[in-house]
Amino acid sequence: MSQLKSVQEKLRLIRVLRLLKKSYTYEELSKITGLPITVLNRYVRGKVLPSAERTRELLKLLTPYINIEEEVKKRIKFDERGFFDNMPVLSDTALMSLIAEEVAGRYFDRDVDKVLTAATDGIALGVHIARELGVDVVYAKKKKEVGVEKFYEVSYVPSASGTVMTLYLPQWALRKGENVLIVDDVIRSGETQRALVEMAHQAGAKPVGMFFLVSVGDIVEKLREEYDFPVESLIRLG
């Protein structure tokens, strides 16, 4: 095994332990793994790294206790009007890292050059996925920032808003011929994401996939019919 792969596995184990720590006590994790609490605690705090062999054993034992779809679902909090707060998902760095690892695994062979998302809430997901893929993340904003000379800009009408929205991206951020993975935390009408596809086309870049944490209704199926690249969401609501 390459040194990089070995380090990645160790990091994965630490992320798994940190995530499980939110649902299980050290006593419970000690029973599952057969390791003393003190040892587990050192791993969680990053004071000590397990050997490659122990990492593999622990990942085998602990992976069945992780279900990232369920972890996302249980963190989504709806308000009385049916809107949800996604901050409990986006703020959980251990969970986001594990999600990003899985998404990056699906796109490693698609030669992604950039991850593209829309401000604001897409940024956290975009950063995690881009880091796993070892590429840069760029994000379209709803405002034209001073200091940027040239923008790509795409206007669209978000569903039920009755107003025109425009997304802006500095032109240096996307180049002709680049392969772009489009990601966002949530997709409802798909208008934001269609605007991102349009933006990639303006740049002469090529969208190679779309990934969302949460999709609402059948928008993923609709976009699959519109585009010839993979469109996926981790969980679907409604």
Distance between terminal CA atoms of the chain? 43
**122 lies in the site for ligand PRP, by CB under 6 A:** yes
Closest CA to 198 of 153, 145, 146, 150: 153
**Binding letters toward ligand PRP, positions 195-214, x by CB under 6 A:** --------------------
Should residue 185 be labelled a site residue for ligand PRP when binding is judged by CB under 6 A?
Answer: yes
Which three-class secondary structure state does DSSP give residue 156?
strand
Residue (143 or 150) nearer to ligand PRP, CB:
143
115: helix, strand or coil = strand
Beta strands 179-187; 206-216: pairing state: parallel
Which of 186, 197, 210, 214 touches ligand PRP by CB under 6 A?
186
In this chain, which of 135, 173, 187, 231 binds ligand PRP, going by CB under 6 A? Answer: 187
Q: What span, in angstroms and rounded, lies between the C-alpha atoms of 29 and 13?
A: 13
User: Looking at beta carbons only, is 190 or 209 nearer to ligand PRP?
Assistant: 190
DSSP run (H or E) holding 236: strand 231-237
Tell which one of 55, 75, 154, 190 touches ligand PRP (CB under 6 A). 190
Binding status of residue 184 toward ligand PRP by CB under 6 A: yes
Contact status, residue 187 vs residue 208, Cβ threshold 8 Å: no
Strand partners, 155: 166
Is 131 buried (19+), middle (13-18) or exposed (0-12) by CB count in 10 A? middle
**By CB under 6 A, which span of 62-70, 124-132, 173-181, 185-193 interacts with ligand PRP?**
185-193
Give min distance, CB of 35 to ligand PRP, in A.
40
CB closer to ligand PRP, 50 vs 126: 126
Closest approach, Cβ 161 to ligand PRP, in A, equals: 9
**Site residues (CB under 6 A) for ligand PRP?**
118-122, 158-159, 184-193
